[in-house]
Amino acid sequence: MAPQTQTIHIQHQTNRVLPEPDVCIHTSHGTRIPAHSSILASVSPVLENLIDRPRKHRSSERIIQIQGVPGGAVAAFVGFLYSSACAEEEMEKYGMHLLALSHVYMVPQLKQRCVKALTQRLTTENVVDVLQLARLCDAPDLHLRCMKLLANDFKAVEATEGWKFLVNHDPYLELQILRFIDEHETRKKKSRRHREEQGLYAQLSEAMECLEHICKEGCTDVGPYDAVAERGRTPCARFATCRGLQVLIRHFATCQRRASAGCVRCKRMWQLFRLHSYVCHHTDSCKVPFCRQFQLKMQQEEMKDDPRWKLLARKVASAKVMSSLSLPKRKRDEEMRVTINNPGIRSYKLL
């Protein structure tokens, strides 16, 4: 029994008065879609080629076969060629078919829409199918999104029918995915380590700033930044660092074990003084203890060129830049002004 033929007329909204359709699209399920060759040809270069092909009989009706996808998907596709639009329900139902059609018939605007829609609808259930389609249709953004979802939620994907099918039929793709997951894990670990390091450098950078103002103003009252300022003095914004540092300085001044170099806390304070001296650009007027002594010592020993200290100073400086970028805008503006007006810091950034 021959399949029942159904004709779908595309509802096109256009101001132009269109002539009678001069081409008919045939789909696998017997659906017939009358259309205008001029419109199809103007949007899809592939359809343009098909239409321009000489026909056997001049009089015979022009027919374009679009097989292998549901008739409804073809109708949505043709509708897009007319209106550059596609209803959400059509996307929901035929998103994957439309991506394939947009790729085969080279309609980049539709391809973009499909990539976006499929990305939004990505789940652990459909990700394997979408991934394979993204590969076939040369959609790198969608491909990457699929890979990331796979990597982040592999346990759930592993249990799906789609994954089991892939393992049995496409060992090469399976290998590629497993390798990506492996690299993804390594990247995540690396970036975690990087964040931890950045946190450390940011702390050091804060400590450098607090060290300067503590030594300039004497040990200041520290309190949470939003506490009411006493005697018109605003508490330091870097409350935790500042308090820790002030406690450390007081300890350093009175520690009995310092002389024998056996105190860990004093050793840390000593290193902070040394780092300060390394990055300090106004040694002559600087009030931070040992600043001059360290600088003289460094000049004598040519330590200024020590690559490890150079690297540390550069990282501390860049942590300062990073943290200033993450401050709220008003605060950032203030910081910028301070930075620009302070020639010491400006050249310090060049380190």
Question: Smaller CB distance to Zn ion: residue 210 or 319?
Answer: 210
> CA 94, 95, 101, 102 torsion: positive or negative?
positive
Q: How far apart are CA 348 and CA 227, in angstroms?
A: 32
Based on the shown chain and the rule CB under 5 A, indicate whether residue 266 belongs to the binding site for Zn ion. Answer: yes
Max Cα–Cα distance, the chain, nearest Å: 108
Based on the shown chain and the rule CB under 5 A, indicate whether residue 298 belongs to the binding site for Zn ion. Answer: no
Q: How far apart are CA 262 and CA 258, in angstroms?
A: 6
Torsions phi, psi for 233 (to 5 deg) = -100, 125
Based on the shown chain and the rule CB under 5 A, indicate whether residue 66 belongs to the binding site for Zn ion. Answer: no
From residue 132, give the alpha-carbon distance in Å to each of 129, 136, 176, 339.
5, 6, 12, 52
Tokens 């990506």, located at residue: 180
Question: Smaller CB distance to Zn ion: residue 263 or 298?
Answer: 263
Q: How far apart are CA 284 and CA 292, in angstroms?
A: 7
Question: Smaller CB distance to Zn ion: residue 94 or 273?
Answer: 273
Among 47, 73, 242, 313, binds Zn ion (CB under 5 A): 242
- Stretch touching Zn ion by CB under 5 A, among 139-147, 152-160, 258-266, 318-326: 258-266
Among 286, 313, 317, 319, binds Zn ion (CB under 5 A): 286
Among 74, 280, 313, 317, binds Zn ion (CB under 5 A): 280
CB of 302 to Zn ion, least distance (A): 19
Q: How far apart are CA 200 and CA 122, in angstroms?
A: 38
CB of 307 to Zn ion, least distance (A): 22
Question: Smaller CB distance to Zn ion: residue 148 or 287?
Answer: 287
Angle at 45 between CA 146 and CA 99, to 5 degrees: 20
Among 236, 249, 272, 317, binds Zn ion (CB under 5 A): 236
Based on the shown chain and the rule CB under 5 A, indicate whether residue 313 belongs to the binding site for Zn ion. Answer: no
Tell me the per-residue interface mask from 174 to 213 with Zn ion, x by CB under 5 A, - otherwise.
Answer: ------------------------------------x---
Contact between 65 and 26 (Cβ < 8 Å): yes
Binding site for Zn ion (CB under 5 A): 210, 236, 238, 242, 255, 258, 263, 265-266, 280, 286, 288, 291
